[in-house]
Amino acid sequence: MNLTLKVWRQKNKYDKGGFVIYPMEGVSHEMSFPEMFDVLNERLIAKGEEPIAFDHDCREGICGMCSMFINGRAHGPQKGTTTCQLHMRHFKDGDTIVVEPWRAKGFPVIKDLVIDRSAFDRIMSAGGFISANTGSAQDANNIPIPKKNADEAFDAASCIGCGACVASCKNSSAMLFVAAKVSQLALLPQGQVERRDRAINMVKQMDGEGFGNCTNTGSCEADCPKQISILHIARLNREYLMANILE
């Protein structure tokens, strides 16, 4: 099929940037979205033009690097799908596809579609490690965890840190990401020792990175490729409130 790609090109975070239109012919329905960009870049290189910079790694929907804003939606039109798992069969012959990077103060553009997500790393670092007793590790089967807690912890742990929640939020809030990371350990015995400090420190770092506040519109949950529930944000609010009261 034949497509028209309208792609954001930007040399660095100081460059104004702008859209460039690329006619794309002979696209296979079986290609993934990054594979289609691979073909486009090969054609650009063959013509002596600079290829489009975009992030990718595992291409299996688990690393979170394939961050593209496609036709006004983080990761594209398919619900619960990362960009690398989005296939061209979900588009029609003759479509115009608009591709942009995440847009947020906390995610400055490095080049073209590549953004700097190191703010998430700093938030994770602010959460710190968990305490563990020395000696032999306790057998997992001997740690009693209610099934409801285990299921919710697994749900939170599925966050891949892609930043789609930030990209889709009108305030560029990172609350869903932070909530998932705080909630995961707050539900498990291993996370209890640093529970209060973790909530306070991660929220403080999140605010320091320039991410906005949550207004509970739910766009983060709608565009999250792992469909993480905003109920975790409610838990983060409770954790943060209790940590400040008991501090």
3-state SS, 82-98, equals CHHHCEHHHCCCCCEEE
**Bridge partner list, 99:** 7, 70
Taken in order of first residue, the domains within the chain and their CATH numbers are 3-110 (3.10.20.30), 118-131+143-246 (1.10.1060.10)
Cα 179 from Cα 233, distance rounded (Å): 5
Backbone angles phi, psi at 32, to 5 degrees: -80, 165
- The pLDDT profile of the chain, 247 residues, written as one tens digit per residue, is 999 999 999 999 899 999 999 999 999 999 999 999 999 999 999 999 999 999 999 999 999 999 999 999 999 999 999 999 999 999 999 999 999 999 999 999 999 999 999 999 999 999 999 887 777 777 777 788 899 999 999 999 999 999 999 999 999 999 999 999 999 999 999 899 999 999 999 999 999 999 999 999 999 999 999 999 999 999 999 999 999 997 7
Cα 140 from Cα 136, distance rounded (Å): 12
Please state the pTM of the whole predicted model: 0.92
CA 159 to each of CA 9, 39, 165, 197, 224: distance values in angstroms, whole numbers, following the listed order: 28, 30, 10, 21, 9
pLDDT at 17: 95
* Cβ proximity of 48 and 139 under 8 Å: no
Tell me 158's DSSP state.
T
Within 8 A by CB and 6+ apart from 29, the residues are 1, 87, 88, 89
pLDDT at 113: 97
* Cβ proximity of 99 and 41 under 8 Å: no
Report the interhelical angle of 231-246 vs 147-157 (nearest 10°): 100
The residue behind tokens 């008991």 is: 246
Long-range contacts (CB closer than 8 Å, 24 or more residues apart) made by 26-31: 26/2, 27/1, 27/2, 27/3, 27/88, 28/88, 29/1, 29/87, 29/88, 29/89, 30/87, 30/88, 30/89, 31/87, 31/88
3-state DSSP percent of the chain in helix, strand and coil, to 5: 40, 15, 45
* Cβ proximity of 113 and 52 under 8 Å: yes
